[in-house]
């Protein structure tokens, strides 16, 4: 075991702390540094006996999170203090009250938002989702909660190598499913890119390695190409007194992989691996015109692809992103992506909303975050919303591209790409959405499912008689619309169920059957509705016919008790797994369990697989690259089982042998020699007793199959002193 050098660790901790102070020097004064020191001292004291999985002192983690918050996101003193203390309440004896006493209410509230419900976070999916809900609720008071959470996740991903493979898969899947899209939505592009790349590294290591090696192999050639590409641009920009920095950069590994999958091409055929960013020093009033001047200079030298021009300078994205993107044809027929932006725009692109605080005079652009937070709050505060539905609905809005549409009065509305006319109605007001009967786009009547495009002018026609319909959920894509429709449908269902209950009581009374709680339970089981709400809803809508009710009563009245009891309490026999030459075994010790193949990915022998424990259908087998794998691992890690294919004849089964015979010196040594040395069988346990010259032994073995076991017992029977061998065989 490696000796720990405590003195060296103390020096390292101090050096990391000094590096943190340098990272936030531009936004802290003497009083701020004093508070940061106080938080640092408390964190060092609280975590002094803790170590990370890598063996490092635990304090390295909060210092690293604070450094990311300060340097890479651009946050200030309060956030640095919260980052240093973010695990103190969760993992040590210090309480929120202690934190409030030392650092005030604001810090205490942020720490509360960051504190996970540790015992159940990894085990109970609803608590995990509820915890995420709790974290987002604090957004309306302080967006820093989520920014620090992202810094925490980024450092955990950077140090994920120290974890075991199942934990790596769970954390990386959760990162791709939730945290990378969240970073994207908050405009933290550098962090979003790194989270995606690291997520890919641990979920698909072979793919990640292949692309990384491909990029490394072409690095020198790429750098030469970009230097040559930029040379004429630098000269021309200088002549026009446009003071710019030009950076060349490769596309992220994740985005190259995304393009390879979407276009069905290999690494060599992803053509726009080259990208440059031109950042101009410009005042706020001139920056837009300067960006277009630079665009003009670039396209004088290189031919642009007209389909790849993106103007987020005139109309910024909802998360504040501003930039001019174009793809041009460079020398040798290579496409190069060019991003043009001012220094201010680059700050916002790299550090998202944290950078907005440096540019307060922007006014309206800052409001888009508040608008987004308000939309999220509406989802959070809906008591009918199931926690997991919420995460799925919320995720819909994270990665969406955006379109810009107008109301009849000319007011601009931002909606996700592929938003429908009905989504627009709900973006105006919940009542407008629920009462929406028709929509006119650019003066022409369209269907409610009509997909809107940027620049459309949209008018909604409402009617008091209109009610939301279930098929609306098929085509709306915004979480607001989905949430409101689900809520309204649930209310309708409750209303119809109320009427249905009265119908059920009346019909059963007419058939001279007493209606009580037992009858209700039997009806739920008989009609297989699952809940009383669904049962009465079917009565209310007429889905349960008079003939079916009469049949139920007839069977009950004709001595059906045992039949219905069997139907209710004896579950159907499980379908046996398909007999194949290969079987699947589970967990480290290769257990043989019942399973079924998942229809979503149809695994076949040889695929890399995992087991997922469903609530109703037992274990389902999914391929590791199943489209649902990331969602399942992120949300239901505690129900994932390790699984692998094995040849049927390679499975070790447990067998117990009972041996009786005459007790004599060296007999047991003789028996174990045959079992272990001659037959090479693993003995799991052995229990021998002797009495008056007679011995009896119970030996538990791991054997491949019945033939092998028979061969072993035949050999043992030849031992002179053994009088009988009986065996039981189980697996």
Catalytic residues: 90-91
Sign of CA dihedral 310, 315, 320, 324: positive
Distance CA 645, CA 583 (A): 6
Q: For 57, which DSSP code?
A: B
Q: Report yes or no: 416 and 407 within 8 Å, Cβ to Cβ.
A: no
Chain centroid to CA 687? 50
77 phi and psi, to 5 degrees?
-55, -50
Q: Name the token pair of 487.
A: 């809520």
421 phi and psi, to 5 degrees?
-60, -35
Residues, the chain: 731
Burial of 253 (0-12, 13-18, 19+ CB in 10 A): buried
Listed in sequence order, the residues at least 6 apart from 306 whose beta carbon sits closer than 8 Å to its beta carbon are none
Give 382-451 as a DSSP string.
-TT--HHHHHHHHHHTTS--EEEEE-TT--EEEEETT-BHHHHHHHH-HHHHHTEEEEEETTEEE-TTPB
Distance CA 535, CA 517 (A): 13
Burial of 690 (0-12, 13-18, 19+ CB in 10 A): middle
Q: CB 306: neighbour CB atoms within 10 A?
A: 8
Q: Is residue 125 left, alpha or beta, with left meaning phi > 0 and alpha meaning psi from -120 to 50? A: alpha
* Cross-strand pairs, 339: 277, 325
Helix (H, G, I), strand (E, B) or coil at 702: strand
Q: Report yes or no: 187 and 312 within 8 Å, Cβ to Cβ.
A: no
Q: Is residue 680 left, alpha or beta, with left meaning phi > 0 and alpha meaning psi from -120 to 50? A: left
Angle 30-46/6-23 helices, nearest 10 degrees?
Answer: 150
Q: Name the token pair of 261.
A: 């999958």
Measure the N-to-C terminal CA separation of the chain; round to a whole number of Å.
39
E-strand ranges in 486-618 read: 582-586, 596-597, 609-613
Sign of CA dihedral 718, 719, 723, 724: negative
Candidates 33, 38, 108, 42; CA nearest to 76 is 33
Place of tokens 């590791």: 624
Q: Report yes or no: 596 and 618 within 8 Å, Cβ to Cβ.
A: yes
Q: Is residue 667 left, alpha or beta, with left meaning phi > 0 and alpha meaning psi from -120 to 50? A: alpha
Distance CA 442, CA 698 (A): 85
């Amino acid at each position: 075991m490696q000796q720990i050098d405590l003195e060296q660790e103390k020096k390292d901790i101090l050096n990391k702390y000094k590096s943190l102070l340098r990272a936030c020097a531009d936004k802290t004064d003497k009083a701020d540094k004093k508070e940061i020191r106080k938080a640092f001292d408390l964190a060092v004291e609280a975590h002094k006996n803790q170590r990370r999985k890598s063996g490092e002192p635990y304090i390295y983690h909060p210092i690293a999170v604070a450094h990311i918050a300060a340097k890479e996101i651009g946050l200030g003193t309060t956030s640095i203090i919260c980052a240093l203390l973010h695990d103190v309440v969760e993992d040590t004896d210090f309480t929120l009250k202690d934190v409030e006493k030392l650092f005030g209410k604001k810090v205490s509230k942020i720490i509360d938002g960051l504190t996970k419900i540790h015992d159940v976070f990894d085990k109970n999916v609803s608590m995990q989702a509820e915890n995420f809900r709790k974290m987002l609720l604090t957004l309306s008071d302080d967006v820093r909660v989520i920014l620090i959470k992202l810094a925490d996740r980024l450092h955990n991903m950077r140090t994920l190598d120290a974890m075991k493979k199942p934990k790596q898969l769970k954390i990386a899947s959760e990162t791709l499913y939730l945290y990378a899209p969240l970073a994207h939505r908050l405009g933290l592009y550098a962090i979003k890119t790194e989270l995606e790349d690291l997520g890919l590294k641990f979920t698909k290591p072979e793919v990640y390695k292949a692309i990384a090696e491909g990029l490394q192999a072409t690095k020198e050639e790429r750098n030469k190409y970009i230097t040559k590409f930029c040379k004429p641009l630098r000269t021309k920009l200088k002549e026009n007194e446009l003071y710019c920095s030009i950076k060349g950069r490769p596309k992220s590994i994740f985005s190259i992989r995304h393009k390879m999958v979407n276009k069905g091409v290999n690494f060599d055929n992803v053509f726009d691996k080259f990208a440059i960013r031109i950042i101009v020093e410009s005042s706020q009033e001139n920056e837009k015109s300067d960006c277009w001047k630079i665009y003009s200079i670039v396209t004088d030298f290189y031919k642009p692809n007209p389909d790849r021009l993106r103007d987020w300078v005139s109309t910024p994205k909802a998360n504040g992103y501003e930039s001019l993107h174009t793809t041009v044809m460079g020398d040798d027929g290579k496409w190069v992506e060019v991003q043009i932006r001012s220094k201010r725009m680059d700050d916002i692109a790299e550090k998202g909303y944290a950078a907005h605080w440096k540019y307060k005079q922007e006014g309206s652009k800052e409001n888009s975050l508040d608008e987004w937070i308000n939309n999220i709050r509406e989802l959070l505060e809906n008591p009918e919303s199931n926690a997991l539905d919420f995460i799925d609905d919320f995720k819909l809005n994270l990665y969406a591209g955006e379109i810009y549409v107008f109301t009849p009065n000319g007011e601009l509305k931002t909606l996700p790409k592929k938003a429908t006319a009905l989504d627009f109605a709900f973006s105006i007001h919940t009542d407008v959405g629920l009462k929406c009967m028709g929509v006119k786009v650019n003066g022409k009547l369209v269907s409610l499912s009509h997909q809107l495009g940027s620049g459309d002018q949209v008018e909604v026609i409402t009617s008091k008689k209109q009610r939301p319909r279930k098929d609306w959920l098929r085509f709306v894509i915004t979480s607001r619309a989905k949430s409101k429709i689900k809520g309204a449908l649930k209310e309708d269902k409750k209303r119809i169920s109320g009427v249905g209950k009265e119908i059920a009581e009346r019909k059963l009374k007419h058939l001279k059957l007493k209606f009580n709680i037992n009858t209700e339970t039997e009806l739920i089981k008989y009609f297989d509705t699952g809940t009383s709400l669904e049962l009465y809803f079917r009565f209310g809508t007429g889905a349960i016919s008079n003939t079916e009710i009469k049949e139920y009563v007839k069977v009950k009245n004709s001595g059906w008790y045992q039949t219905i009891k069997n139907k209710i309490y004896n579950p159907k026999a499980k379908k046996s797994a398909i007999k194949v030459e290969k079987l699947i075994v589970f967990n480290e010790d290769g257990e043989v369990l019942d399973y079924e193949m998942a229809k979503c990915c149809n695994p076949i022998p040889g695929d890399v697989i995992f087991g997922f424990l469903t609530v109703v259908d037992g274990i389902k087998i999914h391929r590791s690259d199943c489209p649902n794998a990331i969602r399942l691992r992120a949300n239901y890690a505690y129900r994932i089982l390790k699984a692998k294919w094995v040849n049927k004849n390679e499975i070790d089964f447990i067998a117990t042998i009972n041996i009786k015979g005459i007790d004599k010196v060296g007999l047991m040594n003789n028996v174990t020699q045959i079992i272990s040395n001659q037959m090479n069988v693993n003995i799991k346990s052995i229990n021998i007793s002797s009495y008056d010259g007679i011995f009896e032994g119970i030996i538990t073995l791991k054997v491949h199959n019945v033939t092998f076991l028979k061969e072993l017992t035949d050999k043992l029977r030849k031992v002179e002193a053994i009088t009988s061998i009986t065996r039981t065989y189980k697996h």
